[in-house]
Structure 1
Amino acid sequence: MELIPCLPDEIARECLIRVPYRGFSTVSAVCKGWKEEIESLQFQQQRQANGLTRPIVVLTQADSTGASAGATKNLIPPSYRLTIYEPVTGAWTKLPPLPGFSDGLPLFCQFAGVGRKLVVIGGWYPGTWAVSKSVFVYDFVSAKWHQGADMPGVSRSFSACASDSDRMVFVAGGHDDGKNALRSAMVYDVAKDEWVLLPDMALQRDECKGIFHGDKFHVIGGYSTDMQGRFVKSAEAFDVTTWQWDQVQEDMLEEGICPRTCVAGDVGKFYRCQSVHVTVLEESGSWRAVAELPLDVRVGPCLVTWQGKLLVLGSATHGGRHMAYALDLQRYTWTRVEAPEEYTGHVQAGCCLEV
């Protein structure tokens, strides 16, 4: 059956690949043929080849409106949600809530973009602070959530998490219910909805940072059970080609530095916030300042990279409105990113995917 009556399928596909991603669910509902076409890998590849895919930045952000805003002022933990920022159009929106979490996200959950899907893992249940092992997957084609297989093993919090952007989400470290730092690691295959255990890391790493680039899952910093908050300067990387951990890199950061702001750019360079600067990791192993942070994002900055840009979200004061700036990683120049008032709440973390 023809995709569009009286048109060759090649022309019909040229029409369909130009549908904005927000229209995928509507177009998929028209007929079985269109649904199969939009859900296919070839459809995504053709959109990419024609330069029609778009970066989407996803943030865990505090609701800065209504009851949640008032709760923040009264020192009650605010309700968090998933916010979408589209760099190409400048649009800000929010995703539907997770099933069973109408009052917000699990606190401190991990999340990563995998193809045209967003995977949300673990966190604490709002209200009880019980640790969740749940996995939720949002499909940008169907615009719906579904629940995946729970994380195996002990309950874990504040682990490293990163995706290969294709089908795998890697998780390592964190701590269990007894505040014991963990060495264990695992990977979630989104397509198969299966978890696979990985070899243990060399070191315990609580509150570590996960970054995937160069076919390796990098786990940066963290601390052991007996160190409790005193961050180490080392890192280690899991090589997906050899399926084993590389030798520990002893001097990734300075002693006592939280790795939260570490990110990797398109060409594999590592960036982070250091004092009042954005810094880049040189081949020599030293960090070089490349840009001074704007005054109104220096408190609690969150970093996300996409297509040669670095998005920095932060505030001027503790508890203040979160502002956003984009740094061009070639010229190291800043551009202010405008956001509506309702999207100025505190940002815990962010990631980027291409749809």
Structure 2
Amino acid sequence: MEIIPGLPNEISRECFLRVPWTSHYKLISVCKTWGNIVRSPLFYKNRKKCGASQELIILKVRVGIRFPIIIYDPLKRSFQTLPPLPFGFQYIKFAHCVSVNHKLVVMGFLDKQQLAYKLIFVYDFCSGTWKRGADLPDSRCLFGCSVDSAKELIYIAGGCDKNDEILFTAAVYNVEEDMWEYLPPLIWGDNACHSAFVDNKLYVMKRHINGGSVQCYDPNTRIWRDMSNVNAFANHNFRFGFMHPPLPAFGRLLCFCGGNVIEFDYVEHQFHLVGTHCPRFLTVEGMTMWRGQIVICGRITGGDIAFYLFEPLRVGEHGQVGKEESWTLFSVWNSIEIGDLANCCGTWTL
């Protein structure tokens, strides 16, 4: 059976791969054969291989009491709002939104009484619908959450339960199989953690840096290692404070903290100051990688949302300063049009 009448099926499949992501739902609605092609787990992987995929930025914005999830295309300066979460869940300011292949996973809900939920919702871009995922192993919030993109696994660590008790547990979620597996317990817990998966290892940090506490998990050996000697900063005086989720970038681990961009050198176990606060930002709401560049977004004067390309300071041996940092404005949004920016959650390749 021909996929597209008059064309070889191989050519037809190549045509499908090059259809813009905003029209995929239209392909699915044409017929069962077309729908099966787009819903295939390999469809978005093959789009990436042939260079047809588009890298989008995931944002949470605040509109009244709601926090809709926005998918932003920086190249076209356009955005698409995802359907609301099931069961009326609207307060997702502190929830994690992470992408794995063509799916977006949301977890870590708090209600208005600050009680944690075990619920997980998974958005399938192919079908354009939400579904319930396997519940978190335990009720928790304010935990570290990061993705092993190569194996399509989501790691969670630390945080606190619905009684505000610190958790020492960690787990890994297989999105395709919809299954959880506990990891060995953490060395130390914290009621507000961040994490990042980089260089085939999971790093867990305290959300408020007050000494540089970091621990590292190796999935191959299933062993945690305390990296408590990161208290020393290799260059400049550093102002401690609240830390945004760390970002793996160019073999480095970057964080926005205390009004500055810092780098955690996971080889030398040291922090470096690699960027000062961009003067136009009133608040910074997150940082992510987009098309091989670091993007930092936040609110600027007037309440609008600005996106900056950031080139970090290059730090050489013994903390010596190399190439200077740079900030380049590449997009500004009117907050009245989409709402007040709450979080930048990362990127989604479709």
Question: TM-score, normalising length from structure 2?
Answer: 0.84
CA contact (8 A) 2:105 2:122 kept: yes
CA contact (8 A) 1:208 1:259 kept: no
Cα distance in structure 2, aligned partners of 1:216 and 1:58: 24
> Cα deviation per residue 1:173-192 (whole Å; 9 max; x = unaligned)?
00122322111011111111
Aligned residue number for residue 170 of structure 2: 185
CA contact (8 A) 1:296 1:314 kept: no
- Note if 1:37 corresponds to 2:37: yes
- Note if 1:137 corresponds to 2:131: no
Name the % identity.
26
Between the two proteins, the alignment pairs up a number of residues equal to 331
Identify, as 1 or 2, the structure richer in strand: 2
Cα distance in structure 1, aligned partners of 2:245 and 2:113: 28
Aligned residue number for residue 217 of structure 2: 238
Aligned with 1:61: secondary structure? strand
- CA shift in 2, pair 1:198/1:9, >3 Å: same
- CA shift in 2, pair 1:20/1:295, >3 Å: same
Cα distance in structure 2, aligned partners of 1:31 and 1:272: 46
Cα distance in structure 2, aligned partners of 1:147 and 1:3: 32
Amino acid at match of 1:106: I
Aligned residue number for residue 73 of structure 2: 86
Amino acid at match of 1:146: K
Cα distance in structure 2, aligned partners of 1:274 and 1:184: 25
Runs of at least 5 residues in structure 1 that lack an aligned partner in the other structure:
69-77, 223-228
CA contact (8 A) 2:156 2:172 kept: yes
Amino acid at match of 1:219: V
> Cα deviation per residue 1:32-53 (whole Å; 9 max; x = unaligned)?
2222222224322331122111
Name which of 66, 79, 87 aligns with 1:100: 87
Give the drift of 1:239: 2.0
- Note if 1:149 corresponds to 2:134: yes
CA contact (8 A) 2:211 2:231 kept: no
- CA shift in 2, pair 1:57/1:167, >3 Å: same
> Cα deviation per residue 1:95-131 (whole Å; 9 max; x = unaligned)?
11101126x2434112211111100012113x44432
Give the drift of 1:252: 6.6
Cα distance in structure 1, aligned partners of 2:253 and 2:82: 29
Amino acid at match of 2:21: Y
- Note if 1:204 corresponds to 2:183: no
- CA shift in 2, pair 1:251/1:82, >3 Å: same
CA contact (8 A) 2:157 2:171 kept: yes
Question: TM-score, normalising length from structure 1?
Answer: 0.83
Aligned residue number for residue 334 of structure 1: 328
Name which of 161, 165, 179 aligns with 1:194: 179
Aligned residue number for residue 155 of structure 2: 170
Aligned with 1:315: secondary structure? strand
Cα distance in structure 2, aligned partners of 1:191 and 1:169: 11
